[in-house]
C-alpha cells in the first residue's frame, strides 16, 4: 500500500480502470469546495503551528478514537478531555504509541484510506504506521508541523481549498471569522448558521444557550416570539459575515407548523420545567418550518441532517460530552415527514433544501423520488458513517436512476480534522470517476459526458447550490 498506488480504489477490470483514470485526471486538481464541516476557524485566525501530531490527527477525530474505544482502549488513555477535568493522559508521545500499535484496526475503513493519504501525500511519509515506527514517525511529523510550510494557512493554500464553511451557533460572535477577514488573507472561510442549541428544547444545555443568545442580541429571550426575532436577527448577522447556509441536525426530519400560539405554549412549558419529549419533538418540527420560511426570505440554503441518534453511549456522553463518537444511525421516514414542508415551500424558486440521511434504506425508496420531483430539494451525499468507498458507491447506485446527478450537491467532508480534507475529497473524486467509468464502459454515455458530469459533481454543483 505504501507508496500509494495511483490507481487505488479503481475497478480491477482494466477497461473500467483506464476510463476511470482518464476521468479522474480531469478533476483531480480542481479546487476543493468544502461547504459543510466543523474545522475551528481559530486555526486560521491565529495561524499558529499545530501543537503536536496527536492533537493534529487523533484528538479532533472521533472516527479514530471511537474505533480504538471499541477495542477496549480507554478514552482517558487517548487524552480525550473529560467534562469534570479528571485526569487523562497528557503525554502526546504515549498516546501516539497507542495509536501506532493499533493502526491496523483502520484497514478497510474510510479512516484508513484518509490516513494513508495524509501520511503519504501531505507529510511525505512513505512507511505505514505501526507500534515499532510510531515514535520515529511522530518525530518526523513534529519537525514538519513546526515549519512554516505546515502552518494552517499554508496548508489551506496547498490543499487548493477555494472555500471552507464552518458550523457555528447563533450566539457565536464570529470573532475568528472577522479576524481572518481583517488580516487581509484572501481565502474564503465562511460561517454556517446552526441553531440546534437553542431550538432543540431537549438539549441539556438549552437554558445556558438561550442565555448566551439573549446576551448577544441584547434582550431577554423569554418567549417563542422573542426566540424567532433573535434567530432572524442572527441569520442576518451571519449573512453579513458571508454565510450562505443553515444546518439542522435532527433525529427525525418531520416538519409541521404548529401555529404561533401552540409554539408559545411549548416554549413556556420548557421554561417552567414541564416539557415532554413529544413536546420537544413537536417544537423541532415547527422550527424546521420556520427555518424554511426564513430561507425563502433571506436566501440561506437550508441543510437537514437527519437520522443521528445522539449520545447513544451514555458513559461517553456523561464523562466526555457530545461529539465524541457516541452517536448511532437510526431509521428515518421522509415522504410523510417532509410532505408539509415540501408542499408549502418545495416548489418555490427562492428555496433550496439539502437533505442528508444516515438511513441508506431510504435512498431509492423515498429520497431519490422526492428530489426527482421537487425543484427546491437536493440530495446531500453519502454522509458520516457512509462517506466511505462502498457507502459512496451505494449512494450513486441507489440515487442516480431516479434523481439523476444534478439533483445532488457534490461532496461534503463534514470534518473537524483539517488535514483530512484533501484526503476525503480525493477519495470521493476517485469513487465518482470509477462510477462514471462503469457507465461509460456499458455505453450509457460517452467519456466526454462523463468528464463533464465529474467536473460538475466535484466543483460546479456544490459551488452553485451553496451559492458560493
d(CA 78, CA 59): 8
Q: What is the DSSP letter of 328?
A: E
Q: Which of 298, 182, 290 is nearest to 238 (CA)?
A: 298
d(CA 304, CA 84): 32
Strand partners, 248: 304
Distance CA 457, CA 375 (A): 18
- The three-class DSSP label of residue 72 is coil
* Nearest CA-CA partner of 450 in 395, 396, 387, 412: 396
Q: What is the pLDDT averaged over residues 279-283?
A: 98
The overall average pLDDT reported for the chain is 97
Q: Which residue matches cell numbers 500499535?
A: 101
Model confidence pLDDT, tens digit, residues 153-175: 999 999 999 999 999 999 999 99
The residue ranges of every structural domain in the chain are: 14-47+151-465, 49-150
Cell, residue 335 = 415522504
Average pLDDT over every residue of 115-130? 96
Q: Quick one: which H or E segment has residue 201?
A: none
Q: Is the pLDDT of residue 66 over 80?
A: yes
Question: What is 49-150's CATH topology?
Answer: uronate isomerase, domain 2, chain A (1.10.2020)
Q: Is 399 left (phi over 0), alpha (psi -120 to 50) or beta?
A: alpha
Percent of the chain with pLDDT over 70: 100
Instruction: Write out pLDDT tens, residues 390-446.
Output: 999 999 999 999 999 999 999 999 999 999 999 999 999 999 999 999 999 999 999
Supply the CATH classification number for the domain 14-47+151-465: 3.20.20.140
The pLDDT tens digits of the residues spanning 293-309 come to: 999 999 999 999 999 99
* pLDDT single digits (tens) 180-205: 999 999 999 999 999 999 999 999 99
pLDDT band at 2; cut points 50, 70, 90:
confident
Distances (CA, A) of 185 to 31, 153, 167, 241: 17, 9, 20, 15
Rounded to an integer, the average pLDDT of 218-228 is 98
pLDDT(1) > 70: no
Q: What is the pLDDT of residues 301-346, one digit of tens each?
A: 999 999 999 999 999 999 999 989 999 999 999 999 999 999 999 9
Amino acid at each position: 500500500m505504501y507508496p500509494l498506488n495511483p490507481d487505488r480504489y479503481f475497478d480491477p477490470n482494466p477497461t473500467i480502470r483506464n476510463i476511470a483514470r482518464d476521468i479522474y485526471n480531469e478533476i483531480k486538481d480542481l479546487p476543493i469546495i468544502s461547504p459543510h464541516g466543523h474545522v475551528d476557524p481559530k486555526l486560521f485566525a491565529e495561524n499558529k503551528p499545530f501543537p503536536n501530531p496527536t492533537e493534529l490527527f487523533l484528538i479532533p477525530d472521533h472516527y479514530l478514537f471511537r474505533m480504538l474505544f471499541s477495542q477496549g482502549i480507554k478514552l482517558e488513555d487517548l487524552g480525550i478531555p473529560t467534562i469534570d477535568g479528571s485526569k487523562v493522559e497528557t503525554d502526546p508521545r504515549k498516546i501516539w504509541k497507542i495509536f501506532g500499535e493499533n493502526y491496523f484496526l483502520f484497514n478497510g475503513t474510510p479512516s484508513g484510506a484518509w490516513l494513508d493519504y495524509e501520511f503519504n501525500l501531505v507529510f511525505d511519509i512513505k512507511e505505514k504506521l505501526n507500534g515499532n515506527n510510531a515514535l520515529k514517525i511522530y518525530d518526523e511529523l513534529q519537525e514538519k508541523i513546526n515549519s512554516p510550510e505546515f502552518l494552517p494557512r499554508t496548508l489551506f493554500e496547498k490543499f487548493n481549498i477555494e472555500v471552507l464553511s464552518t458550523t457555528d451557533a447563533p450566539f457565536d460572535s464570529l470573532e475568528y471569522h472577522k479576524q481572518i477577514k481583517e488580516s487581509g488573507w484572501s481565502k474564503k472561510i465562511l460561517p454556517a448558521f446552526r441553531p440546534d442549541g437553542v431550538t432543540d428544547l431537549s438539549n441539556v444545555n438549552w437554558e445556558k444557550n438561550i442565555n448566551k443568545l439573549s446576551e448577544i442580541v441584547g434582550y431577554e429571550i423569554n418567549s417563542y416570539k422573542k426566540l424567532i426575532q433573535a434567530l432572524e436577527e442572527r441569520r442576518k448577522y451571519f449573512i453579513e459575515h458571508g454565510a450562505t447556509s443553515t444546518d439542522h441536525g435532527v433525529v427525525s426530519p418531520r416538519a409541521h407548523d404548529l401555529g404561533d400560539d401552540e409554539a408559545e405554549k411549548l416554549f413556556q412549558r420548557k421554561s417552567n420545567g414541564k416539557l415532554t419529549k413529544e413536546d420537544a419533538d413537536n417544537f423541532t418540527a415547527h422550527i424546521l418550518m420556520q427555518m424554511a420560511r426564513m430561507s425563502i426570505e433571506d436566501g440561506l440554503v437550508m441543510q437537514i441532517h437527519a437520522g443521528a441518534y445522539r449520545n447513544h453511549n451514555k458513559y461517553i456522553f456523561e464523562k466526555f460530552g457530545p461529539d465524541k463518537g457516541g452517536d448511532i444511525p437510526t431509521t428515518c421516514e421522509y415522504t410523510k415527514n417532509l410532505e408539509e414542508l415540501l408542499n408549502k415551500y418545495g416548489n418555490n424558486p427562492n428555496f433550496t433544501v439539502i437533505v442528508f440521511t444516515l438511513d441508506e434504506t431510504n435512498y431509492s425508496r423515498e429520497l431519490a423520488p422526492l428530489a426527482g420531483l421537487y425543484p427546491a430539494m437536493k440530495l446531500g451525499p453519502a454522509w458520516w458513517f457512509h462517506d466511505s468507498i462502498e457507502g459512496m458507491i451505494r449512494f450513486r447506485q441507489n440515487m442516480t436512476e431516479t434523481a439523476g446527478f444534478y439533483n445532488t450537491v457534490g461532496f461534503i467532508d463534514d470534518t473537524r480534522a483539517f488535514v483530512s480534507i484533501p484526503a476525503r475529497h480525493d477519495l470521493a473524486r476517485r469513487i465518482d470517476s470509477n462510477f462514471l467509468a462503469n457507465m461509460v464502459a456499458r455505453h450509457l454515455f460517452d467519456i466526454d459526458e462523463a468528464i463533464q458530469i465529474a467536473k460538475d459533481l466535484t466543483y460546479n454543483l456544490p459551488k452553485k447550490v451553496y451559492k458560493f
